[in-house]
């Protein structure tokens, strides 16, 4: 008698026998998958660590614990410009990957005009209403056109006094709170309070009053919690537990609370319809024509606030930390600002564009502390595609992780050093010095790049 039949036979109940059989089948199928992933998978010749080529679990674990971007950067140092970070998943630091993965495509079926976002990452919860981040190609372009009015230069100029009001309040509050420079303040929180107040006003027509209350609004605290929760849900889905995720989400309370706050704020905003020319008005005007549901409006308002606030606050926090640890660069920046304006009133959205050194500092801060470190995962369309000069089969997850791209020694001279001067060179001179300036794409590229980049970085 074989070992398996001995195991199943001797003095065991039917239930125990079935459980053992199921375990054996599971183990055999897992081993088969691992062997396939390592030796027969179309990506088998791409470099990467064996464990990550064999199974999705190690990457999922790193993602859930928030360490994957830092880990993948180290893998690029070891394995080069393309690394197989999961059985079906490639990460790139080759600059050509920006265009190949995220760029515009011309011709073909409309759904083929761009490499779609991978649902595992972009639409982890299936029955949630779509937002601009998840809409299909055609709906996305329509929606984006409607939004773009609120992001135009003329709209920005109209919004300027309102934005200025919050910046003035930030400066006043800092003076009040810092006890003449003796008291330490958590600038990351202050920047978040400011950007959430601004974007809250730009989208919902109401401030979160963080700067007035010197504290986070409960909505923001709930959002921060739900972002971490969301990463765990993505990791579980990636590991093959997508169905479990749908159930967990159904009963999870923190995201329910966030959605309720959003609905309340949207109700207040809808009462102002037609009276404001802000980021959301363009979409509201199309509400009836496109039959946009309240839930869809709410999902988009939520994304706009989140996309515009925390990202900008992270950039400012990074820039502040870098400037404070490099007094010589800070002094040069002070000199530029103070010699460019006679009074604070001369500082406007337009006039700051002449501050070349400040813009270089912001670029360097975005390079060293990209607010979106990773997670912009796309899926290779039918028929496969060339990425960075090599064929990738259909269905593969592909991505550029900003943290890896921006810290690659193939792209930057001394990638870990804070050197704003590298952005003052012409692209040719910079390339000679070892800096490929256009590998910095903090706002991504192509049809789904950041619509708010002028707000995030003039």
Binding site for ligand HEM (CB under 6 A): 132-133, 144, 199, 279, 304, 307-308, 311-312, 315, 371-372, 376, 442-444, 448-452, 455-457
Return d(Cα 11, Cα 5) in angstroms, integer. 12
Output the 3-class SS for 72-126: HHHHHHHHCCEEEEECCEEEECCCHHHHHHHCCCCCCCHHHCCCCECHHHHCCCC
The answer to whether the CB of 246 falls within 8 A of the CB of 255 is no
**Closest distance between ligand HEM and the C-beta of residue 121, in Å?**
9
State the minimum distance, in angstroms, from the CB of residue 145 to ligand HEM: 10
Distances (CA, A) of 455 to 2, 60, 144, 315, 352: 70, 33, 16, 12, 12
> Whose Cβ is closer to ligand HEM: residue 304's or residue 392's?
304
Helix or strand (DSSP H, E) at 400: strand 397-400
Measured from the CB atom, the residue of 58 and 456 that comes closer to ligand HEM is 456
CB-based closest residue to ligand HEM: 452
Give the residue with the Cβ less far from ligand HEM, 307 or 388.
307
Minimum CB distance to ligand HEM, residue 447 (Å): 7
Residue whose pair of structure tokens reads 């081993």 in the numeric block = 31
Q: At what angle do helices 294-324 and 327-340 cross, to 10 degrees?
A: 110
Which pairing describes strands 385-387 and 390-392: parallel, antiparallel, or unpaired? antiparallel
Nearer to ligand HEM, 144 or 326 (CB): 144
Q: Which residues pair with 379 in a beta bridge?
A: 397
Taking Cα atoms as reference points, which of 6, 201, 22 lies closest to residue 30? 22
Cβ distance to ligand HEM smaller for residue 134 or 254? 134
Residue among 54 and 210 whose Cβ is closer to ligand HEM: 210
Which tokens go with 253? 């309370």
Question: Of 264, 143, 140, 265, which is closest to residue 202 (Cα–Cα)?
Answer: 265
Q: Nearest distance from residue 304's CB to ligand HEM, in Å?
A: 5
120/311 with CB nearer ligand HEM: 311
């Amino acid at each position: 008698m074989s070992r398996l039949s001995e195991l199943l036979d001797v003095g065991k109940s039917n239930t125990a026998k079935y459980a053992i059989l199921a375990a054996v089948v599971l183990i055999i199928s897992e081993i088969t998958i691992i062997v396939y992933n390592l030796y027969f998978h179309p990506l088998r010749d791409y470099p990467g660590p064996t464990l990550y080529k064999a199974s999705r679990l190690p990457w999922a674990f790193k993602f859930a614990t928030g360490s994957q971007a830092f880990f993948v950067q180290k893998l690029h140092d070891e394995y080069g410009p393309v690394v197989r970070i999961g059985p079906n998943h490639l990460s790139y630091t080759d600059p050509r990957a920006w265009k190949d993965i995220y760029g515009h495509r011309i011709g073909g079926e409309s759904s083929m005009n761009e490499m779609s976002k991978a649902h595992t990452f972009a639409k982890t919860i299936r029955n949630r209403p779509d937002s601009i981040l998840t809409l299909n190609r055609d709906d996305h372009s329509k929606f984006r056109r409607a939004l773009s009015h609120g992001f135009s230069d003329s709209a920005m100029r109209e919004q300027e006094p309102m934005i200025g009001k919050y910046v003035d309040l930030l400066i006043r509050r800092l003076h009040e709170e810092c006890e003449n420079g003796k008291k330490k303040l958590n600038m990351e929180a202050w920047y978040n309070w400011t950007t959430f107040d601004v974007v809250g006003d730009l989208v919902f027509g109401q401030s979160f009053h963080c700067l007035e209350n010197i504290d986070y609004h409960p909505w923001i605290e709930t959002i921060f919690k739900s972002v971490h929760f969301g990463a765990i849900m993505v990791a579980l889905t990636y590991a093959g537990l997508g169905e479990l995720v749908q159930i967990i989400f159904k009963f999870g309370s923190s995201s329910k609370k966030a959605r309720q706050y959003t609905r309340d704020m949207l109700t207040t905003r809808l009462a102002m319809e037609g009276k404001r020319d802000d980021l959301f008005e363009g979409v509201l005007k199309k509400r009836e024509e496109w039959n946009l549901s309240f839930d869809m409006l709410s999902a988009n308002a939520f994304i706009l606030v989140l996309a515009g606030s925390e990202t900008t606050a992270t950039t400012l926090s990074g820039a502040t930390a870098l400037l404070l640890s490099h007094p010589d660069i800070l002094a040069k920046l002070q000199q530029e600002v103070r010699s460019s304006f006679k009074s604070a009133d001369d500082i406007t959205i337009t006039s700051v564009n002449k501050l070349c050194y400040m813009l270089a500092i912001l670029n360097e801060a975005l390079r060293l502390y990209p607010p979106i470190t990773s997670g912009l995962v796309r899926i290779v369309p039918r028929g496969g595609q060339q990425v960075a000069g090599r064929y990738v089969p259909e269905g593969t997850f592909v991505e550029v992780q900003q943290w890896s791209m921006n810290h690659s020694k193939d792209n930057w001279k001394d990638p870990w050093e804070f050197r704003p001067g590298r952005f003052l060179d012409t692209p040719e001179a910079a390339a000679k010095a070892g800096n490929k300036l256009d590998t910095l794409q903090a706002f991504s590229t192509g049809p789904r790049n950041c619509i708010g980049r002028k707000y995030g970085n003039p």
